[in-house]
Structure 1
Amino acid sequence: MLIKLIITLALLCFSHTATSLDLYVAPSGNDHADGLSLKQTINGLNGPFQTLARAQQAIRELKKTNTFSEPVTVHVQGGIYPLQKTLVFDIRDSGFDGREILWQSENGPAIISGGLILQDCAKGDDNIWACPGSGFELASIKYTNTDRKKGNIPGFELFIDQQPMHLARWPNSDWAHIKLPLDENTKFSSIEKLPSLESDQINTQVHIMSGNDWYDQYIGLESADQSQNKITLSGKTKYPFSSGRRFYLQNIKSELDAPGEWFYDLKTNRILFIPPNNTKPNEIIISTLHSLIAIKGANHISFRGLTFRYCTGIAINADKSSNLLFDHIEISNVGGRAIETKNSSYINISNSHIYNTGEGGILVTGGDRNTLQSGKNLIFNNHIHDFGRVLLTFTAAIEVFGVGSNISHNLVEQGPGTGVFINGNDHLFEKNEVHHVCEQESDCGAIYSGRDWTYRGNVVRYNSIHDLFGYGLKNVNIANDTVVYARPDGVRGVYLDDSVSGFSVIGNLFNNAGVMAIQLGSGRDNIIENNLISTDSYAIWVDNRIAGDELKKHLSQVPYQSHIWLTKYPQLGLPMLNQNWPEGNVIKRNIILSTKPGGFALRYFMPKQSNILANNLVWSTTGQLNVDYHVLDSLPKRSGTSWQEWVAEDVEQDSVYADPCVNITGNQVTFCAQSAAKKIGFESIPSDIGLMK
């Protein structure tokens, strides 16, 4: 009930009174009209505007003439609104408390598009279609090079019937693999036989995971020697090459040979493609704008029911703004993130659908970490899936920085990398469902935070995290030119990495949530309580690791010894007995159900002093539950010992080995009447997890 009250109050902040000014926009409208009604007159002076920019101008004129005295609703009629340039909102477009400005879709989807429709396309040999680029100046649309994306490829993307196409590539599916590094970061040989690239090399781009399964990047190709099966990159990879790691080549005209591939032929100014499923295309669109909406220092603006499609970068970005509402919007087929708001407060992103994004879903930054003032940002009831189709890793569905974001009732699924990144303080991640993420990544977390002792006050509670499998290198045999990648591999449900501290992980449901449902990587002052974990691998993994300079640097960047910080996080003022040990953690009242025969369910590498392990309920459906442990301050160390031997070390207090008698169906949990869960005081997990209809 509390979260419903919060949402209701948040939406009321953006609501309009009965008296308001109504403006109208329709694709069939006229920018010379007055915009005050839907009905058009013959002379064209009355009726809707045709463009969003004209409606924006009308609102600015109200302010110039001091007639902005009431809320304004812009009624955007169903249809397509192609943008010639990014629609920029600034202080001139702001509303005020009680005089908000609402842009609202009506009578069908209102689609705000940064795309161009290609015409006069014709089918040629091998089912390769060609579309002339005349009149579009396609060569002037430049690819934006970044730290992770470099190369000489087109600056736009192609979509057929709203489906993103892939640049013509080798191999057509899956990946090729590094055989041997020929230097550290620029040259390597390939296990698979390289294709003949002929004159395509200068424009070829390499997508590569050079040294691990958790960081991908794009780099230009300098040369490909087919006779020696050797590749030289035009720039350095972030991580050194390692045998067996993945790569593929793209933007190769001679490799245009599979459904769903395309190529821009600069010499003939034609776009070539093979339609998905080899079917006749109906709608052929290229994305040309970098961004659709940019909000710079504007406040009290709402966007409701609008659809945003086709841009090469971030669809909507806002900076230094407040009281913005994005409700029931749809964002798809964009090259970057869907929404990025920085240095902003009272941002509400709710009830929206985000998919087919190139570099993630929603990023929100707000609040002040020095003063711990909350940004009061809300991410509520959104469905985010198929994100990270360009950059696979470090492009989460939801990412928060700063202080005090509320992320609740979202569904995150079907992503190649991490589902959620939590950075900063006092964020609440509650009643969300996360599954089938980290699908192309190892050493990955469905929910991840790491590398900071000062990320305190974050709460992860009442979420359902399930069906995580990961993907990683299992075996490479250079002599036989064989590589094996497989799942499951390396994914965690909640990944508290590299000494991150002060998290509360409470009341969550973990069902087959990776190789570790919860990993605590030497963090401090974390609470892991009242979680239900059903797994065929590790339920909880606690380890000790060396605290690097990065942790100490982050500690010095915030006033952690100030009165504000020590009042809120008094443990930060206490001395560390050993900065490399997990200290001050509480692991209690959790139910751990192991389903793996002879499986290792728990790993505790931690000191007895200062940590609390108590009142947990453990059970193995196969009759054997094993524990790895190293009691760091008294030296006992065992691998694969029984639960009984672990309890005898007297580290774990008042815990129970008994059948919890529990049934898990989707996000619902039920216990039988005689369940041993009562013995540890286990509290019920809420039933309203996930999307709210």
Structure 2
Amino acid sequence: MKFKILSVMCSLVVSCHAFAKEYHVNGANTSKGNGSIENPFQTIAQASKVLKAGDVCYIHEGTYYENISPKNSGTKKKPIIFTRYKDDIVIISATKPIANWEPYSGNIYKANNVNMVLGDGNNVYYNHKKMQIARWPNDSDDNEYSLDAKFIDKTKGTWSMSYISNLEIPNIDWTGGIIHYLGAHSGCSWERAITNYTPNLHRVHFKTLPDKWPFGKTHSPQRLENGHRGIFYLMNKLEVLDAPNEWFYDKQTKTLYFYAPNGEKPTKDIVEVATRSHTAQIYKNHIHVKGLNFFGGMITIKGNHNKITNCMVKHGAEKLITNLNGAALKDAAIQVLEGYHNSIEKCVLEHGTLNGLYLDRDAENTTVKNNIVQYFNTIGIHAHLLNSSGARNKIIRNSFYGSARDGVKVTGDDSEFAYNHVQKCLISGADGGLFYVTGRSIPKNIEVHHNWFHDAYSDDNHAGKKATGIYLDNNAAGYIVHHNVVWDVEWAGLHFNWNAIKNEIYNNTFWNVGKPEEAVINSWVPKRNGVQTNVEDNILYNNFSDVRPWWDSGDGKKYRVDEKEFKGKEADNDFKNNEQYAKRPFLVEEGKLFMPFKDASVIDKGLKIKNITNNTKGKAPDLGAYEFGGQAWVPGVNWTPKHFAWTPGSDYKKLNTSSLK
């Protein structure tokens, strides 16, 4: 009997292994194939139809103009795997190559019978670089973050909520074009279809803006700030196609016009147009995607226990925001819209007008670890390098670089944001932060620790100087912020607004955060019942900074919070054991950055805090983010990208410490 049972069990094991198969895909095959290595499938879609739990799909070298969309789920022990064959370079593209170009005018060429059906998502790529829709004035420096825009006329009668004027606007019929506008407050851009043009007034008209945020009196010509009422440029007319990299699509005749970067006929190099919004839609469970490259479209996950590992996504979320009635879109290079225990690890995400990574509120227990995410939110709305609103998400050891507005946003209950490097944000916007959140005065229990936040300032002269480090904006509550370093920002290291309550700020280092006369901490709070109030019930211990005011508050006119409010009976916040130093008490040399000098005055001067200062090396914790004799921790990715289709930009490795010396 025992022998029979053992025989049956062995048979079951053999049968289970027999069901797990390897399938091969090679677009170079001249037949549809059967999935074997000798006769591979032509398309990934063929494999997706037959893959079952435990199966592996090996994709051979080439570019595949299709979408990874598995039809079945894997299991915990037997996931379905999509991966490259050996070290082959595999690109999954949401584009289509365009050939058969003919001269149009000068250096401009045209291609007929081109179907561009994505509307605001239409794009043209040249050698895998996004080109510029025809515009005035031209993008003179080939940099999407520097807007190369014009100021609107600001005298009475030259602007309204439905038109703007500027005497330099070329006198062509702008009807059907698009206006891109960034207001004087510089917090959020918008785009509108142009409905009419008045030549003698050089005035473009558009549908009346809503009288509500983000428009209203905040992001519209009604707002006069920084000496102007906003900047703009105009797009999408053939008459202004006059510079390298520009294109225009006539949807009536299905004709694409293009001025190639070198001005030559675009035949030697690859020209592609966007044809789909996605490169992968993972709507099943236990799907693993490894070692692939994705171009021109998003990866969307709706499922559980899926993994994206060692992949590169380039130009994943590129679109205009014409007639958007809000301030944000979910579109991202990788977006997890729902599901549990999904993970994104050791990936490179580069270039997008919108978000890099987006984890929606129904995406819980997600792990985002060791990724490079750079050059997103070029369009300047409320988009981010990472936006995470799901509960219990862990964002660990990532490198984030480059955003027109905010850097990262984490608002999901019980989440963790740790050992990340966030830099170079608020490039063309203002009133934001490298770490930016809002809330409802309900504590979220979100831990933000052991991160570097630096380089937040606008590169242009239109924006208000309002770029901060850690921004706990309207009613943010329950953030435990400890052992972070914030430096080289133009507007405070830490910012509270409105009813920001019950936040805990421990052992952070703030250095060179704004002008010397400006405070480390800023708040915007209104008067209530005629009495000036402040944010409440926040705890701030063991932090240090260079010498400057500690705290400014107010509702337009600042008042300075002094030691009496910190310590007196009327204190709104528990502010204790924070110090300032005229000379930096830490090292700036490589491998020891921010570590205290030997005998520095920060050593052993901290208060013990449960679950926060557990790694004390001396008699008491040190002030600030680093412990003398402890680990000289360095945040961000700890691996080198290799074997991708494109060489990643190196900006994520930058470390500007000149202002610290």
Whether the 8 Å CA contact 2:59–2:82 is kept in 1: the answer is yes
Amino acid corresponding to residue 634 of structure 2 in structure 1: D
The CA deviation at 1:102 is: 0.7
2:123 to 145, 157, 160: 157
Match of 2:33 in 1: 33
Aligned equivalents of 1:31, 1:323: Cα separation in 2: 35
Equivalence map 1:26-65=2 (5 Å): 26-29=26-29, 32-36=32-36, 38-39=37-38, 47-59=39-51
Match of 2:246 in 1: 261
Amino acid corresponding to residue 198 of structure 2 in structure 1: D
Aligned equivalents of 1:17, 1:337: Cα separation in 2: 38
1:512 to 488, 502, 522: 488
Secondary structure, counterpart of 1:53 in structure 2: helix
Please tell me whether residue 492 in structure 1 is matched to residue 468 in structure 2: yes
Secondary structure, counterpart of 1:674 in structure 2: coil
The CA deviation at 1:419 is: 1.1
Match of 2:384 in 1: 396
The CA deviation at 1:388 is: 1.8
Whether the 8 Å CA contact 2:370–2:398 is kept in 1: the answer is yes
Deviation per residue, 1:41-77 (Å, 9 max, x gap):
xxxxxx2111111001122xx5xxxxx5xx1111111
Whether the 8 Å CA contact 1:345–1:366 is kept in 2: the answer is no
Aligned equivalents of 1:358, 1:654: Cα separation in 2: 40
Whether the 8 Å CA contact 1:408–1:429 is kept in 2: the answer is yes
- Structure 2 unaligned segments of length 5 or more: list them: 1-15, 140-147, 319-330, 606-620, 640-661
The CA deviation at 1:19 is: 9.6
2:133 to 140, 164, 167: 167
Please tell me whether residue 689 in structure 1 is matched to residue 635 in structure 2: yes
Aligned equivalents of 1:18, 1:88: Cα separation in 2: 24
Equivalence map 1:164-313=2 (5 Å): 164-173=130-139, 174-180=148-154, 182=157, 184-190=160-166, 192-198=167-173, 201-210=174-183, 212-236=185-209, 238-239=215-216, 240-241=220-221, 242=223, 243-266=228-251, 268-276=253-261, 278=263, 281=266, 282-296=269-283, 298-311=284-297
The CA deviation at 1:331 is: 0.8
TM-score (norm 2): 0.77
Whether the 8 Å CA contact 1:220–1:235 is kept in 2: the answer is no
2:600 to 665, 675, 689: 675
Whether the 8 Å CA contact 2:397–2:637 is kept in 1: the answer is yes
Whether the 8 Å CA contact 1:339–1:361 is kept in 2: the answer is yes
Deviation per residue, 1:287-313 (Å, 9 max, x gap):
1112222233x11001011111123xx
The CA deviation at 1:189 is: 2.4
1:662 to 586, 593, 597: 586
Q: Relative to total residues, which structure has the larger strand share, 1 or 2?
A: 1
The CA deviation at 1:398 is: 0.4
Secondary structure, counterpart of 1:322 in structure 2: coil
Secondary structure, counterpart of 1:203 in structure 2: coil
Aligned equivalents of 1:251, 1:409: Cα separation in 2: 41
The 1:168–1:447 alpha-carbon spacing in structure 2 relative to 1, beyond 3 Å, is same
Match of 1:553 in 2: none
2:115 to 111, 122, 137: 137
Match of 1:346 in 2: 341
Match of 1:94 in 2: 73
Match of 2:651 in 1: none
Higher RCO, 1 vs 2 (CA within 8 Å, ≥6 residues apart): 2
Aligned equivalents of 2:590, 2:102: Cα separation in 1: 48
The CA deviation at 1:589 is: 1.1
- Structure 1 unaligned segments of length 5 or more: list them: 1-15, 40-46, 63-67, 145-154, 369-374, 473-483, 549-577, 595-599, 607-626, 637-645
Amino acid corresponding to residue 314 of structure 2 in structure 1: S
Equivalence map 1:376-387=2 (5 Å): 376-387=365-376
TM-score (norm 1): 0.74
Aligned equivalents of 2:110, 2:280: Cα separation in 1: 31
Aligned equivalents of 1:654, 1:416: Cα separation in 2: 33
Match of 1:330 in 2: 312
The CA deviation at 1:433 is: 0.7
1:528 to 505, 512, 516: 505
The CA deviation at 1:583 is: 2.1
Match of 2:614 in 1: none
TM-align CA RMSD: 3.2
Secondary structure, counterpart of 2:45 in structure 1: helix
Secondary structure, counterpart of 1:56 in structure 2: helix
2:94 to 93, 110, 114: 114
Whether the 8 Å CA contact 2:350–2:373 is kept in 1: the answer is yes
The CA deviation at 1:254 is: 1.0
Deviation per residue, 1:264-309 (Å, 9 max, x gap):
134553211222254664110001112222233x110010111111
Whether the 8 Å CA contact 1:186–1:236 is kept in 2: the answer is yes
Amino acid corresponding to residue 540 of structure 1 in structure 2: V
The 1:631–1:531 alpha-carbon spacing in structure 2 relative to 1, beyond 3 Å, is closer
Secondary structure, counterpart of 2:153 in structure 1: strand
Deviation per residue, 1:576-610 (Å, 9 max, x gap):
xx99532221111112124xxxxx4421549xxxx
